[in-house]
Amino acid sequence: MLYTTFARQHGQFLSKYVQKADFQLEGAEDRYGLNISVVTLPPEDGPLDYLSKAEKDQYYSFKYPRRRNSYILGKLAAKMAVAGEHDDLAGIQVDHGILCQPIVAGRTRGITITHCDDLGAAIDYDPRLLLGVDMELVDEKAMDALRRITSKEEEGLIHGLGPEPAFLTLLWTAKEAMSKVIQTGFTVPTELFEIKSCVRGEQGVISQFTNFPQFKALSILREKYVFTVVLPGKAMTEMSEIRLLNGLRQLLLPI
């Protein structure tokens, strides 16, 4: 089904469960386009016209609701980020590469995907970029585990960044997003992703890495979630950083 047809037939579904935005980053050398979607878990009786027959079969094959939910959040977020008005949603095939990194079959643009609890997000991005996204629930029960992978140097960054649970979750999302950029996940030591600095501004938090000085992590703190995008610093001027953070805040307001 074409996106325009889906939007016409299921406009209420889109307005309730899908948020989309396009951004143009202005770097020192060029401009780079991002298409971002944030989705909320739809009801099980909601429309599935955006899935192919094989994807529907896969969805219904999952025995446990949690696995079905993560599958549908990832597919919906990715397709909504990628789709143009005249694209066939069911024809957008989201596959995985040799290191399980997401790819969209037949397209050169990059895709990065995250899902957590009842939310999902994806960013379709200019292939000249390297980019990763992560979103995590601020969960008190996870704090002991997060403290164990937080260095003494990182602990010293907490001043002015809010309560410890949100701060530790922010560090984790930055590391997770960076691991997606280099497409290893956490198959390498977590110390590799150590955070060197965190600066909080009006729109969000900008972090930098000890071992990846070329990259910046832009984070938005919501009441229950932290949303982080990692991308090359040279892809953004200072004003472009501010516009992207502000745009992300607006995109995440409904959740």
Q: How many CB atoms lie within 10 A of CB 198?
A: 21
Mean pLDDT of 85-90: 95
Tokens of 92: 């957008």
Mean pLDDT of 217-237: 94
Q: Give the pLDDT band of residue 213 (cuts 50, 70, 90).
A: very high
pLDDT surpasses 80 at 160: no
Output the pLDDT for position 28.
86
**Closest to 208 (Cα-Cα) out of 180, 228, 187, 237:** 228
| Cα–Cα distance measured from residue 167 to residue 172, given in angstroms and rounded to the nearest whole number | 9
**Closest to 149 (Cα-Cα) out of 176, 113, 180, 184:** 176
Output the pLDDT for position 50.
97
| Cα–Cα distance measured from residue 143 to residue 249, given in angstroms and rounded to the nearest whole number | 25
- Give the bridge partners for 209, in sequence order: 195
| Cα–Cα distance measured from residue 50 to residue 94, given in angstroms and rounded to the nearest whole number | 12
Tokens of 254: 């409904």
Across all residues in the chain, what is the average pLDDT?
94
Q: By mean pLDDT, which of 60-64, 200-204, 227-231 is the weakest?
A: 200-204
| Cα–Cα distance measured from residue 192 to residue 141, given in angstroms and rounded to the nearest whole number | 25
Percent of the chain with pLDDT over 90: 90
Task: Write the DSSP string, 118-171.
Answer: TEEEEEEE-TTS--EEEEEE--GGGHHHHHHT--HHHHTT-TTS-SHHHHHHHH
Percent of the chain with pLDDT over 70: 100
pLDDT surpasses 80 at 162: no
Indicate the pTM of the whole model. Answer: 0.95
Output the pLDDT for position 230.
98
pLDDT surpasses 80 at 161: no
Q: By mean pLDDT, which of 31-45, 60-74, 150-164, 181-195 is the weakest?
A: 150-164
| Cα–Cα distance measured from residue 30 to residue 156, given in angstroms and rounded to the nearest whole number | 36
